[in-house]
Amino acid sequence: MPELPEVETTRRGIAPHLEGQRVSRVIVRERRLRWPIPEDLDVRLSGQKIVLVERRAKYLLINAEVGTLISHLGMSGNLRLVEAGSLAAKHEHVDIELESGLALRYTDPRRFGAMLWTHDALNHELLIKLGPEPLTDLFDGDRLFQLSRKRSMAVKPFIMDNAVVVGVGNIYATEALFAAGIDPRREAKSISRARYLKLAIEIKRILAAAIERGGTTLRDFIGGDGQPGYFQQELFVYGRAYEQCKVCGSELREVKLGQRSSVFCPRCQS
């Protein structure tokens, strides 16, 4: 599943080509996504100028003069730029054609993503209860410490809770916990303030590094410019179960936490 760095990579790739451009038409070939694409999306968006392309958590917000298109990439989706009118393949469900001659094409083999229309994006039901962005000053170790005091759940699903902080998905939670030396199985309330301060720093560092490297290439993810990400080359633990730890040489272990696989080093993480 594309995580925050992959979505931000997509935003950076498409924004320069969308902002300031007017939509000529919208072609919807398949409306049956996680939620149905609005029947009147073409009427609402065509003729409008795209003002700004933003990201909130893993949602892309394509702000037009009147209204916002909320897009989520789901499990396997991507948005990329193509020539308007170019032949679409089987899973290429939506084209937003621009007067520039380009089109923003949405591809989603599993159809678990979303394209929704709203006039009040930040108060939309999908966004209103989200926690702070991890790369802002609203998120830090003190917030993690305070919110964790009565939480007996394991620390890994705790930091993946979008009400605590958005965008810390499975890949980057796994890597941040390794970098901070914290066992992902530990109860959230058992971890000290000092260790949460370290964890928050590592979350910020790892997410920022992943964004700069274009995200992590997993299965079929590509950015808005059609290029893969390269952060996978720097993963220490994610996807490396039973291999040797790059730091101490111990065999990495794998457990299930919150129905997600979690790899950790029994020596480096306590």
Catalytic residues: 2-3, 58, 260
193 among annotated binding-site residues: no
17 among annotated binding-site residues: no
Question: CA 25, 26, 27: angle at the middle one, nearest 5?
Answer: 120
256 close to 262: Cβ distance less than 8 angstroms? yes
Dihedral (CA of 196, 202, 205, 209) sign? negative
132 close to 51: Cβ distance less than 8 angstroms? no
Contacts of 167 (CB under 8 A, 6+ apart): 3, 4, 7, 57, 58, 133, 134, 207
For residue 150, count CB atoms less than 10 angstroms from its CB and return exposed for 0-12, middle for 13-18, buried for 19 or more: exposed
Please tell me the distance from the alpha carbon of residue 121 to that of residue 130, in angstroms, as a whole number: 12
Q: What residues are paired with 248 via a beta bridge?
A: none
151 among annotated binding-site residues: yes
Cα separation values, 37 from 21, 24, 217, Å: 22, 18, 28
* Feature table: binding site for DNA: 91, 110, 151
